[in-house]
Amino acid sequence: MAGAMHILAAGQTAMAAATTGAPAWHVWATLVILVLVLIALTRNLLPPDVAFMGGLVVVLLLRIITPEEAFRGMSNPGLITVGALFIVASGLRETGALHLAVTRLLGLETTNRSALARLMFPVAGMSAFVNNTPIVAMLMPEILSWCRKRQIAPSRMLIPLSYATILGGTCTLIGTSTNIVVSGMMVNAAQPMHALGMFELSWIGVPATLIGIGFIILIGTRLLPERKELIDQLGETQREYIVEMVVQANCPLIGSTVQQAGLRNLPGLFLIEIDRSGEILTPVKPTDVLEQDDRLVFTGLVRTILDLQRIPGLTPAEESRYQIAPDQRRTRRLCEAVVSNSFPELGKTVRNSDFRTRYDAVVVAVHRNGTRLRRKIGDIILKPGDTLLLQVGEHFERTFRGNTDFFLVSEVQDSGAVRHERAAMALGILGIVVVLLATKDLTGIPTAVAALAGSGLMVALRCVSIGVARRSVDWQVLVVIFAALGFGTAIDRSGLAETVATNLVDWARALGGLIGVLVAVYLLTSVLTEVISNIGAAAIVFPIAVAVAQTLHVDPRPFAVAIAVAASASFSTPIGYQTNLMVYGPGGYRFSDFLRVGVPMNLLVMLLATLLIPHFWPFVAQ
C-alpha cells in the first residue's frame, strides 16, 4: 500500500511539473527550500524578512523563477498601499487624534467587562479603516496609562486590544495589510480575478467581530491573566521628579474633578498641591474641581510626566512663561541632563537662571537625590548633581552631550510634541482615504493611488513631518511582502502548488466535498499563520488554492476569501500576528495565555467563515 502511495505521489509530481512546463526536480527543490524557510521562522533562527528573502534568492539562483517574476512584487499595488498607509497612521499618531478618544471611551469604568466593551467595539471600528499594527502602536501607551490610573492590570486589556484590531481588520479591504496583499495577488494571478471590494469581506468580518468580542467579554474575562506591568514591579528604583503643569484655556479637564480627570491615586505620580491664584489647595481632594490657570504640582516618574504632556492644554509651568511658536514646539523633545560642578547657573533659581537663552531649553521637572522637593519649579535653586528634565530643541543632545556644563545628557524616547491642533485635519484626511477606497469602482481611483494621496496630504498639511513619515514606514514588513510574493510565485511555477493541491483535493473530498476542501485551505492557512506570519502564510497558500480551484474547475474566489480571513484571524500564538507580539511583553503575558484565549477564538471564526463563504461566494463552475 505504501509503495502504491509513493508511486501515486511521484506520478502526481511528474504530472504537475509537466503541467507547469518546469523540470520535475523544481518541485522537490522548492519543497526543500520552503521547509527550510518554515524551520527558520518557527524556531526564530532568522527574522521573517531575512528568511523569505533568503528563500527567494535561492530559487532565483536555481532558476526556478526568472528575475522578472521575482521582482514583480515590487510593483504589487498591495505593497505600495501598505507603505502609504503607514504614513497615514503616523499622521494620526503624531496629532494625538486618538488620545482623547481612548480617555472618553474608557472613562471612569473600573469593572473589567464594561471597560472591555467600551474599548473593543470602537477599536474594532477604527481598525476596519486603519491598518491594525499602527492602531496598536498608537493605543497601547494610552491603554497602559489608563490602566495605571485605574489600578487595572494591563494583562486584562492588552490581549483584547490586539484581538479587537485583528477582528476589525477582517471587515474591510484596508483593515489589514494581509487583505490588501491577497487582493493584489488576485489581480496578478495567471487567470486574473477582480480585486476585493472595500466592504466585500464585511459579510464575514462584521459577524466575526461581534461574536469574537462577545466571547471575550462574556467568557474571555475568566481566561485572561492578571499580572503587573513590568515597569510597575520596578517601583521606586525610578527617578522621581517634581513637575508643575498649568491648565490652559483649551484643556478638556477644566470643570472636571481631580477624580474624574484621572489625576488621583496614579501609580508613579502624586498630585501634591494646586496653586490657584496664590491660594494653595493641599492636600488635594478627589472632589476638587480643576479651573483655568490652575498650577498643578506633581511628583512622579518620567513615563507619567510624558502621560501628562500628552493631555492637550496641560503645559509645563516654565514653558508657559515663553512664547514658543507651534512650528518650534513640534520639533522639541524631552532630555534628561545632570548638572555638573561647572554649570554656570549654579546657585540661581530656575526662574532667575538664563537657561532658555543659553541652552534653548525649558526646565520641565527636577530630581534631587531621591528627595521630594516641596518648592515650585521656578523657586528651586540649582545644585550640582540635580537631574533636570528639559524640553529642548532637536539638536540639543548632539550639541551638549560632551559639554562640561552637564555630567550626562540623554534624550527621553517617544517624547516628541503632539500636534493637537491638527488632529481634526488628520481625521479628515483619513475620511478622504476611506471614501476614495469605498468608491473606487465609481471614481476609478486605484487603492494604491488613494493611499498615496492620503500619505501625501498628511505630509503636505504638516500632520506629520517628512522625517517622521520616513521613519514610520516599517520596511521589514514591506520586505516580507515583496519576498513572500516572489517565493509564492516560485511555489506556483515549480509545480509544487499543483502537487499539493492534487493531494489536498483528494484528501478533503473524501471528508466533505467542496466544503471539506474549503476547510482544508482555511486550516492550512491558519496553521501557517500561527507559526510564521500572516503575509507569508497567505503568499504560500494562495497559489496552492488557485491550483485547487483549477483542479476542481470552480471559481477560486471563495478560496481567496478564506485565505484572507484565515491569515488575518490569528489569535493562538504571540508570534503569529504582529499585534499579538506587540502586547506580549508590556502585558507580562506567557505563551500559554494566548493558547488559552486564542484557540477558542480561532475555532469560532473558522466555523463562522466556512459557513458563510459558500453562501456569499458560491462555488461557480468554470
Name the residue among 595, 580, 565 with its Cα closest to residue 162: 580
What does the pLDDT read at residue 601?
A: 94
547 near 509, Cβ under 8 Å? no
> Residue 138 pLDDT more than 70?
no
Lowest mean pLDDT of 128-132, 327-331, 436-440, name the range: 327-331
Judge whether residue 134 has pLDDT over 80: no
DSSP for residue 237: G
CB count within 10 Å of CB 394 equals 14
CB 504 within 8 A of CB 517: yes
Bond from prior residue into 207 cis (ω within 30 degrees of 0): no
Is residue 230 predicted with pLDDT exceeding 80?
no
* The pLDDT of residue 195 is above 50: yes
pLDDT, average across residues 373-378: 70
Question: Is 70 exceeded by the pLDDT of residue 91?
Answer: yes
pLDDT at site 620: 87
Look at residue 211 and tell me whether its pLDDT is greater than 90: yes
Average pLDDT over residues 98-116: 65
Tell me what the mean pLDDT of segment 296-303 comes to: 77
Q: Tell me what pLDDT residue 12 has.
A: 44
List pLDDT tens digits, range 482-493.
887 787 778 777
Q: Which residues pair with 281 in a beta bridge?
A: 274
Confidence of residue 618 (pLDDT cuts 50, 70, 90): very high
Q: For the beta carbon of residue 485, count every other beta carbon within 10 angstroms.
A: 28
At 245 the three-state DSSP class reads strand
pLDDT over 90, % of the chain: 13
Residue 332 is predicted with a pLDDT of 64
Q: Taking residues 34-55, what's their average pLDDT?
A: 79
CA–CA distance, 404 with 428 (Å, rounded to integer): 48
pLDDT at 83: 82
pLDDT of residue 590: 80
Q: Please report the pLDDT score of residue 318 as a whole number.
A: 65
pLDDT at 435: 84
Helix or strand (DSSP H, E) at 588:
none
pTM check: above 0.85: no
| Nearest C-alpha neighbor of 531 from the set 127, 38, 178 | 38
Residue pointed to by grid coordinates 504537475: 16
Q: Would you place residue 308 in the very low, low, confident or very high pLDDT band (cuts 50, 70, 90)?
A: confident
Amino acid 253: pLDDT: 86
Which residue has better confidence, 272 or 310?
Answer: 272
Confidence check: pLDDT of 100 > 60: no
What average pLDDT score do residues 308-328 get? 64
Residue 212: its H or E element? helix 202-215
pLDDT at residue 8 greater than cutoff 60: no
Sign of CA dihedral 240, 245, 250, 253: positive
- The mean per-residue pLDDT over the stretch 510-533 comes to 81
DSSP 358-421: HHSEEEEEEEBTTB---S-GGGPBP-TT-EEEEEE-TTHHHHHTT-TTEEEEEEPTT-PPP-GG
Could you tell me which residue, 318 or 156, shows the higher pLDDT? 156
Comparison of pLDDT for 452 and 491, the residue scoring more: 452
Strands 295-300 and 269-276: antiparallel
Contacts for 593 with CB less than 8 Å, ≥ 6 apart: 155, 159, 224, 225
Mean pLDDT score, 45-54: 81
91-97 average pLDDT score: 75
Whether residue 600 has pLDDT greater than 90? yes
The domain covering 237-411 belongs, at the CATH homologous superfamily level, to Regulator of K+ conductance, C-terminal domain (3.30.70.1450)
CA–CA dist 542, 193 (Å, integer): 13
- According to the model, what pLDDT value does residue 231 have? 45
Q: Which of 490, 544, 498, 547 is CA-nearest to residue 67?
A: 490
Could you tell me the CA-to-CA distances from 378 to 87, 249, 250 in Å, in that order? 40, 22, 23
Instruction: Output the pLDDT for position 496.
Output: 76
3-state secondary structure of 252: coil
Q: What is the pLDDT of residues 562-590, one digit of tens each?
A: 999 999 898 987 766 778 877 877 787 88
Q: Tell me, what's the pLDDT at 160?
A: 93
Give the lowest-confidence range in 110-114, 149-153, 381-385: 110-114
| Contact assessment for residue 534 and residue 580, using Cβ atoms and an 8 Å cutoff | no
Mean pLDDT of 302-310: 72
Range with lowest mean pLDDT among 55-69, 78-92, 513-527: 78-92
For range 85-105, the mean pLDDT: 72
**What gap in Å lies between CA 608 and CA 605, rounded to an integer?**
5
User: Nearest Cα to 621, choosing from 568, 569, 567, 551?
Assistant: 551
CA distances 49 to 63, 261, 417, Å, are 21, 44, 32
Mean pLDDT of 152-166: 89
Residue 420 pLDDT:
67
Q: Cβ distance 325 to 352 under 8 Å?
A: no
pLDDT of residue 299: 76
Residue 15 in this model has a pLDDT that exceeds 50: no
Average per-residue pLDDT in the chain? 78
